[in-house]
Chain A
Amino acid sequence: MSSKPIATSRSAAGLPTARLVTWWVIASEIFIFGGLLASYVMHRLGHPEWAAQAAHTHTWAGALNTFVLLTSSLFAVLAHKAADSGDGARAARFLRLTALGGTTFLCIKAFEWTHEIEAGFVLSSGGFWSFYYTAAGLHGLHVLAGVIIMLFFAADAARNEELQRVECIGIYWHFVDIIWIFLFPLLYIAR
């Protein structure tokens, strides 16, 4: 099915359909993370003793990951700029750099978690650790999904096809970034 229905190409709301659907996906994601983080914050406020558990996280690793993720978002913006000017090959290059950033993020995360698990802090080690692994894990899954989708879109973009998708995956990537901006202080810095 190469042809798209008429419904896909209309824009009665004045917004391209692809961008519109991206925003709705993000809107529904906000409530998933919102529910999780609100639960966490309520529990943190009720359990000051969790600070002792939180003290074991590697703040420097989290900070490095924040830097990596923010840098990858810059590449996503540059990819969007290239796609807007019709340069699919350049957009694909930047998308792949973004995906590299996401992969680096996951590697640092894996390194970090290995250390924590070796130190005996696992999912069931206590309230803080349960939230720590669940929230960061859910976020990590979003990073992983973003990387995979991005590589597919980069392959399309390299052939100058479906360039509107470059912007959409960029919007999603910034969203994943912003979630991390919430997670980093809540999980690492707050003690």
Chain B
Amino acid sequence: MSAEAHHAEPGFFRKYLFSTDHKMIAMQYLFTGMIMAVIGGYLAYVFRMQLAYPSQQVPGYGVVSPNEYNSLVTMHGTIMIFWVAMPVLLAAFGNFLIPLMIGCDDMAFPRINRLSYQVFFLSAVVLLASFLVQGGAFGGAWTSYPPLSAKGAYNLTPVGASMWLVAVALEFVAFLLGGINFVVTTMNGRAPGMKMYDIPIVVWMIVLATIMFMFSVGPLIAGAVMLLFDQLLGTGFYDPGRGGDPLLWQHLFWFFGHPEVYVVLLPALGIVAEVVAVFARKKLFGYKTILHTAWAVWVLSFVVWAHHQFVAGIDPRMANVFSITTLLISIPLAEMVFVYIATLYGGSIRLATPMLWALAFMAEFLIGGVTGIFLGASGTDIYFHDTYFVVAHFHYTFVPIAIIAVFAGLTYWYPKMFGRMLNETLGKIHFWGSIITFNVIFIPLFITGTAGDQRRIYSYAQFAEQARPALQHLRVVSTLALLVFIAFQLIFVFNFLWSLRHGQRAEANPWMANTLEWTVPSPPPHGNFADMPTVYRGPYEYATPGRREDFWPQNVPN
């Protein structure tokens, strides 16, 4: 078969629906993730309206019933983590960037890659279909703790609970298929000359995150099968009355669930590293330090999970151990942020939209990290547990990861993905509108949480002793800020769609970056590289003394 035939453009059907091209699969993951984000955002809108204006008509939804409220919060959490953060950060960026950045034509196993997306799509269909079954979508919280999740009589969504488990399990299968592909492609498919320390940080991070996912998710897959059996086949794995133990699920879930935070955090940190180096026009400070700290996070992330069980019943001596490991893990992460700040120091900083998002990531994630210390220390956690303080803390880590860093990456790679530039003015309006409202949503929740507001409460009508009417205005402020936040996202959607057709045409390397994806046309053709590249240096050689240009692409001999 000749080279031309291999790189021929496939027909419509093959190109868009059953493509094995890593770039098209990345787009499928990206757009599925974005649609799911709209759904997840809509759910948040509905239950925040219920919290601000209890039992009133929610425009575009109706009156929220208690059961529906449980389904709404459960599905919001589930969708945003498993069907937005994971597909966009890992699968979309991983699929798009890995082959382009390491200089090869596709993933090592393109058809397994396609299967990965198909299984993922199926999982999304199962999840969304659960809204339509009797009892509605699962309402036992995104952590699905038994016995609540194990018995339909408790969670009142017997069908939804099992569909939730099946959907999550399918999603894990999809990411195992895709993830193994990522790791093998990066290990084996690199361009000649690209040594371990020449791999761009974002690729390293995605691969480390993938391996972390593979190793942490295994026990939960086993646990999910056990929970499904408890639901459907009458076993008692998690039933204390029959020799089981509900705490077992909490251990299996969080042995995955906590590393999962870092599974999505590492790619986000990788995106920020790329953007910071390019827009500071300076060599990334401490490439190896970043890698070593990422490895430290990787190892520590497996020994922090029980900080979620401080209240559930854990030997106090173990609580001390897990407090210490949890506080320890903040050290490498803080170090990483310091390294990024050191990259900024003395650079000639360009405040384009991607850079704004990257800088905002550092500032906002910092707040998430600092408030995490109160929850990692077992003493304070006993007070804060299950309050809105946890909700606010969690969103101060996850919004920077799944929203802010994703916008940094999307605005940065948009020209490469679609061959057009985004509008800068609209980008900046969207940026400031989102960042300000994001803080206004969640700072009030720190306050209500500190005052003792419990999460997962549908309405204070039934819990008059917890109502704290003096705090209601903060709950309203949070909801109103969410409305404004959502409104500002429309600007992004408009910018995204409008620029697809009318944006200024992007040249191959509009940001003057060094990594290999910028050496091919925008968007890259099928097969990526006309001539397979050879790599001569690391990815961050900016402002090298003695060179006329301030960047030095990886594939240029000298």
Residue ranges of A at the interface with B (Cβ–Cβ < 8 Å): 1-3, 5-8, 10-13, 15, 17, 20-21, 24-25, 27-36, 38-39, 42-43, 46-47, 50, 123-124, 126-127, 130-131, 134, 138
CB pair A13–B188 under 8 Å, yes or no, is: yes
Choice from A5, A20, A50 contacting B184 with Cβ under 8 Å = A20
> Taking the complex as formed, is B244 at the interface, i.e. its CB lies under 8 A from any CB of chain A?
yes
CB pair A7–B235 under 8 Å, yes or no, is: no
Task: Report the nearest A residue to B5, measured CB to CB.
Answer: A3
CB pair A130–B235 under 8 Å, yes or no, is: yes
How many angstroms between the C-alpha atoms of A131 and B230 in the bound complex?
Answer: 12
The 5 tightest CB contacts between A and B, nearest first, are A35-B219, A31-B218, A127-B243, A36-B222, A124-B234
Chain B residues closer than 8 Å to A127, beta-carbon distance: 236-237, 242-244
Give B202-224 as 1s and 0s: 1 = Cβ < 8 Å from A's Cβ atoms: 00000000000011111111110
How many angstroms between the C-alpha atoms of A191 and B109 in the bound complex?
Answer: 46
At the interface with chain A, which of B98-106, B401-409, B427-435, B516-524? Answer: B98-106
Question: How close is A67's CB to chain B, nearest CB, in angstroms?
Answer: 27
Question: How close is A18's CB to chain B, nearest CB, in angstroms?
Answer: 9
How many angstroms between the C-alpha atoms of A47 and B20 in the bound complex?
Answer: 50
Choice from B20, B180, B218, B244 contacting A1 with Cβ under 8 Å = B20
Chain B residues closer than 8 Å to A25, beta-carbon distance: 180
CB pair B190–A10 under 8 Å, yes or no, is: yes
Give B408-447 as 1s and 0s: 1 = Cβ < 8 Å from A's Cβ atoms: 0000000000000000000000000000000000000000
Residue ranges of B at the interface with A (Cβ–Cβ < 8 Å): 1, 6, 20, 99, 104-111, 176, 180-181, 183-185, 187-190, 194, 214-223, 225-226, 229, 233-237, 242-245, 248, 252, 255, 532
CB pair B214–A24 under 8 Å, yes or no, is: yes
Question: How close is A99's CB to chain B, nearest CB, in angstroms?
Answer: 23
A31-B214, A127-B236, A130-B235 known; A24 vs B20 contact (CB < 8 Å): no
CB pair B243–A126 under 8 Å, yes or no, is: yes
Do most interface residues of chain A lie in helix, strand or loop, or is the interface mixed? helix
How many angstroms between the C-alpha atoms of A121 and B181 in the bound complex?
Answer: 42
CB pair A8–B219 under 8 Å, yes or no, is: no
Chain B residues closer than 8 Å to A43, beta-carbon distance: 243-245, 248
How many angstroms between the C-alpha atoms of A35 and B215 in the bound complex?
Answer: 10
Chain B residues closer than 8 Å to A1, beta-carbon distance: 20, 110-111
Chain A residues closer than 8 Å to B109, beta-carbon distance: 8, 21
CB pair A28–B180 under 8 Å, yes or no, is: yes
Question: How close is B389's CB to chain A, nearest CB, in angstroms?
Answer: 31
How many angstroms between the C-alpha atoms of A35 and B302 in the bound complex?
Answer: 13
CB pair A39–B223 under 8 Å, yes or no, is: yes
